[in-house]
Amino acid sequence: MPAGFADTPPPPYYAVIFTSQRNGEDDAGYAAMAAAMVKLAAGQPGALGIESTRGANGLGITVAYFTDEASIRAWKANVEHLAAQKLGKQRWYAHYHLRVAKVEREYSGPDGR
């Protein structure tokens, strides 16, 4: 699987789509926390992978994949993650929108990998 892509199993599984707008403040603090959270998320029960990117305008989309809803709720309640969520609201995000969705089908390309 190429770098940046989540190597997920055949559906069904769940996706947490997190769209966020950075406020342009504290880039270093944000980057450190984001890296720590990606690493922590990867080790959670039910975690299947993560895809994340952010443009020069500060708009970012992160999609984290999990086996089931219970795993998503457990990750949201993780103590270190709760601290990060609080800082995100206070310091780093101008706006965010989170959606939980059940992946039903998928395909890849151009070569079907």
Binding site for a copy of itself (CB under 8 A): 2, 4-6, 8, 11, 15, 17, 19, 21, 51-57, 59-61, 63, 88-90, 93-111, 113
Amino acid identity for residue 44 in this structure: Q
CB of 66 to a copy of itself, least distance (A): 12
CB of 10 to a copy of itself, least distance (A): 11
As a whole number of angstroms, the distance between CA 47 and CA 67 comes to 7
DSSP 3-state of 35:
helix
How is residue 12 written in tokens?
A: 């069904």
CB of 21 to a copy of itself, least distance (A): 6
